[in-house]
Chains A and B, each alone.
Chain A
Amino acid sequence: MSAAAPLLQVEGLKKHFPLKHGLFGGEVVAIRAVDGVDLTIAPGETLCLVGESGSGKSTVGKLVLRLTEPTAGTIRLEGVDITHLGPDAMRPYRRRAQMVFQDPYASLNPRMTAGKIVSEPLENYPDIGASARKERVAALFEQVGLRPDAMQRFPFEFSGGQRQRLGIARALALNPALIVADEPVSALDVSVQAQVLNLMMDLQEELGLAYLFISHDLGVVEHIGHHVAVMYLGRIVEYATKDALFENPRHPYSQALLAAAPLPDPRAKRERVVLQGDIPSPINPPTGCAFHTRCPKAFDRCKVETPQLVPTADGRLASCHLVE
C-alpha cells in the first residue's frame, strides 16, 4: 500500500459485540461491528475512513487506540504489536496515538479549565517538570490558534470551533505520531469546519502527523485525505488514493456514496445511483458479498461467494466480483 515503513498496521481486525452467550460462554449472537479490517498508515499520511452510519468506522478508530478490546486481529504501532498489551505496558504507546472526538461539547470535562484539560496528558507522563509543562501548554494554545488568556476559562465559554481546537491541543500535547480523528468537524458550522480542517493540515505539515480521519462527509475527505478506505458493514470494500477514488470509484458502493454527495454547483448533472433500503443488520450480515442486497449490479455469484479485497489493475484494492 505504502512504500515507507508503516506507522500503523492493522490486520484482520474484528470486533464482535456479543448479544447472547452460549452455555459455555461462547458467542451465540453478536453484532459484527468490525469484521476483518486491514489498514496501513504511513507516517505523515492521512487515511480517511468513510462509510455510512453503522459501518463500523468509529469502532475501528477506538480499536486502534485500544479504547475497546478487539475480538481478533493485530494492531501494530510503529512496528510493535500493541494488541494485547496490559494497561501498564500500553502506557508508553498511548502517547504515540491520540484522539480527536466528534462532539466538542462532550469530549471536554466541563469542570476543568482549558489549561488543565490540555496539561492533563502531560501530567500523566512526568518526563517534563511543572514549569516546562506550563510553557508547553502555552505553546500548544498558540499552535492551535487559541489566545493564552483562554487557559483560565471553562469549556462552556468557548464556541464549538474553539472547543475543537482545544481538543486538538490536548491530542497534540504528547507529541503523537498518529491522531485518530473521529468525525472531528461534523458537529461544526461549515465555515468553522474549513478553519479546523486547515489547522489540522497545517499541523500535519509542521509536525509530520499521520491522521486516521473518520468521516461520512466526502467533501471533507476530498479536502484532507491522501488515501481513502470505504467501509461497509464492518469491512473495507475499496482502498485507493483519494484522487483515484474520486475520479473513478470501482466498487459499486463507493460509486453510490460519491453519487450521493452533494455538489456545490446546482446545475451540475451526474449519474444518480440511489441505494434502496438501509444498511443490513450487522447481527446477520448477508451471505456472499455483504453489499449484494442493495447493489444495483449484483448477480448470482454475489449471493454465495464473498469477494476478497484484492489489488486491481490500476493499483488499488477493491472487493467486488466485477473488478477482479
Chain B
Amino acid sequence: MSAADFTQESAALARDRQGHGAALLRFVKRNPTMTIGALILLLVAILALAAPLFAGDPVSMRPAQRLRPPSSTNWLGTDHLGRDVFARTIFGARVSLYVGVAVSVMSILFGLVIGLVSGYFRRADAVVMRLMDGLMAIPGILLAIALVALTRASVTVVIFAITIPEVPRVVRLVRSVVLSVREAPYVEAAVSSGTPVWKILLRHILPSTVAPLIVQATYICASAILIEASLSFLGAGTPPEVPTWGNMIAQSRLFLSRAPWTIFAPGVALALVVLAVNLLGDGLRDRLDPRLARRM
C-alpha cells in the first residue's frame, strides 16, 4: 500500500471520529455495489437463520392443495405435493448459504496451508503442484456424483465434493503470493536475524495472502452455491426431501407451464444470492487490491 493510501485511510479515520453516520454514508456512496451485495446477503442470512420462527412448515405435504397459485395463506403458492413454496425457498437459503460458506472456508483453509508449504519449501513444491494439477483435472460435478454414488447423499458429501476441486485454485493463488513475498528483503532480514521458519510464514508471509484470499473466498462461495444447486438438480446432491433450491427447481420443472411460481421462487432466490456474493466480491477486490481495481 502506498503512502497516499494510508493518508487517505487516516483521513477517513479522522472523519469517523467526527461522525459515524457521515463516514458510513461516504462509504456507501463510494462502494455502492459492495453495499448492495452485503445488504442482500445480510437480509438472506437473517431470513435463513430465523426461518423456523416465521416461514412455516417446508416439508409437510397437503395433496389436496397442490399447485395452488400465490395467496394470503401460501404467499408463493404450493408445489405439486402441496408444500408451501415460500417456506421451502426460505429454508433452501439455509442449505445454499451453509454450503457456500462451508466450501469457501474449507477450501481456503486447506489451500492456505498447502499453498504456504508449497510456495516456501521449494522441494515440496514440485510434488505438491503436480498433485494439485491432478486434482484440478477432476470435474467437480463428476466427483460429486461418484462420491454420492459411493456413500449416501448428504450435505456433507456435497461440501467435500465441491471443496476438493476448489482447493488447487486457492493453492495456486497462495503459492504465487508466497513466491513473490519470500524474496522481499524484509523476509531475508527476518531469516538473517534468526527468525524460525514458522514465524516467518505466519508473521511475514501469511498477512500478504489475506486480501486476495478474502476476494477468492467470495467467488468460491458463489460458485459453490451454483454447483450445489446443479448437483441437487441432477439428483446427485442433497437428498430430495431436503428443501434446497436445486431440488425445488428439479422437482418443479415438469409443472413449469401450470405452476411457474414453483420454479420462479427458488430460481430468483438463487440468482439474487449469487449476484449478491459476486457484487460483494467485486467490491472487496476493488477495496483490497488496488492493482485489480477497475473503477467506473
Q: List residues of A whose CB falls within 8 A of some B CB.
A: 62, 65, 67, 87, 91, 94-95, 97-99, 101-103, 106-112, 120-121, 124-125, 154, 156-157, 167, 170, 173-174
| A211 CA / B235 CA spacing, docked (Å) | 71
Indicate if the CB atoms of B193 and A98 lie closer than 8 Å: yes
CB within 8 Å for A67 and B191 given contacts A106-B186, A107-B185, A109-B186: yes
What are the residues of chain A within 8 A of B66 when measuring CB–CB? none
- B197's nearest neighbour on chain A, judged by CB, is A87
**Chain B 160-193 interface mask (CB, 8 Å, partner A; 1/0):** 0000000000000000000000001110111111
- B1's nearest neighbour on chain A, judged by CB, is A110
What are the residues of chain B within 8 A of A154 when measuring CB–CB? 6
**Chain B 78-89 interface mask (CB, 8 Å, partner A; 1/0):** 000000000000
What are the residues of chain A within 8 A of B189 when measuring CB–CB? 99, 101, 107-108, 167, 170
Interface size on B, residues (CB 8 A): 21
What are the residues of chain B within 8 A of A124 when measuring CB–CB? 193-196, 199
Q: Report if B204 contacts A (CB, 8 A).
A: yes
Indicate if the CB atoms of A173 and B193 lie closer than 8 Å: yes
CB within 8 Å for A67 and B6 given contacts A101-B185, A108-B186, A109-B204: no
CB A95 to nearest CB in B, in angstroms, measures 6
Indicate if the CB atoms of B6 and A94 lie closer than 8 Å: no
Q: Report if B3 contacts A (CB, 8 A).
A: yes
What are the residues of chain A within 8 A of B193 when measuring CB–CB? 94-95, 98, 120-121, 124, 170, 173-174
What are the residues of chain B within 8 A of A106 when measuring CB–CB? 184-186
- B189's nearest neighbour on chain A, judged by CB, is A107
Chain B interface main SS type? helix
| A240 CA / B193 CA spacing, docked (Å) | 31
What are the residues of chain B within 8 A of A121 when measuring CB–CB? 193-195
Which B192-213 residues have a C-beta within 8 angstroms of A? 192-197, 199, 203-204, 207
CB B189 to nearest CB in A, in angstroms, measures 6
CB B179 to nearest CB in A, in angstroms, measures 15
Indicate if the CB atoms of A101 and B188 lie closer than 8 Å: yes
Extra inter-chain contacts (9) besides given A109-B203, A120-B193, A154-B6, CB under 8 Å: A62-B188, A94-B192, A94-B194, A106-B186, A107-B185, A108-B186, A111-B207, A125-B194, A174-B193
CB A61 to nearest CB in B, in angstroms, measures 10
| A102 CA / B185 CA spacing, docked (Å) | 9
Q: Which of A109, A121, A154 has the most CB of B within 10 A?
A: A109
Which 4 pairs between the two chains have the least Cβ-Cβ distance? A121-B193, A107-B185, A124-B194, A94-B194
Q: List 6 A-B contacts (CB under 8 A).
A: A94-B194, A103-B185, A109-B203, A121-B195, A156-B1, A170-B193
What are the residues of chain A within 8 A of B203 when measuring CB–CB? 109, 112
What are the residues of chain A within 8 A of B192 when measuring CB–CB? 65, 67, 94, 97-99
Indicate if the CB atoms of B186 and A95 lie closer than 8 Å: no
- B195's nearest neighbour on chain A, judged by CB, is A124
| A170 CA / B186 CA spacing, docked (Å) | 11
CB B288 to nearest CB in A, in angstroms, measures 14
What are the residues of chain A within 8 A of B195 when measuring CB–CB? 120-121, 124
Which B1-22 residues have a C-beta within 8 angstroms of A? 1-3, 6
| A167 CA / B190 CA spacing, docked (Å) | 11
CB B287 to nearest CB in A, in angstroms, measures 17
Indicate if the CB atoms of B190 and A156 lie closer than 8 Å: no
Which B224-282 residues have a C-beta within 8 angstroms of A? none
What are the residues of chain B within 8 A of A108 when measuring CB–CB? 186, 189
| A108 CA / B185 CA spacing, docked (Å) | 8
CB A44 to nearest CB in B, in angstroms, measures 21
What are the residues of chain B within 8 A of A109 when measuring CB–CB? 186, 190, 203-204
CB A68 to nearest CB in B, in angstroms, measures 10
- A65's nearest neighbour on chain B, judged by CB, is B192
CB A164 to nearest CB in B, in angstroms, measures 12
Q: Which of A110, A120, A167 has the most CB of B within 10 A?
A: A120
| A102 CA / B193 CA spacing, docked (Å) | 17
